[in-house]
Amino acid sequence: MATQDDTVKIAIKKRLALKLRRRLKETDFKTLSEYVNFILAEVVSSLEEQDQADEAEVEPEYSREEEEKVKARLRDLGYLD
């Protein structure tokens, strides 16, 4: 069971709370807090996964020397003038 030290209070708009309460009835969650915690955990997890995917797609930086070698090789192969 969560103690008071394990939680923080967050205010949300009443309209959103009503929407969440309606959806709560269609779930196995017992309380609105459990449901909101689940939703937030899923959203944060998804964002973190996207951040990791974005970081993996970052192209490596080449030194000026490495870049010049690549350009020279492309010129030798006829791809650059």
At 21-44, the pLDDT tens digits run 999 999 999 999 999 999 999 999
pTM of the model: 0.59
Distance from C-alpha of 6 to C-alpha of 29, rounded to nearest angstrom: 19
pLDDT at 52 over 90: no
Phi/psi for 32 (5° steps) reads -65, -40
Instruction: Name which residue leads in pLDDT, 9 or 51.
Output: 9
Region of residue 29 (phi > 0: left; psi between -120 and 50: alpha; otherwise: beta): beta
Show the tokens assigned to 42: 């899923």
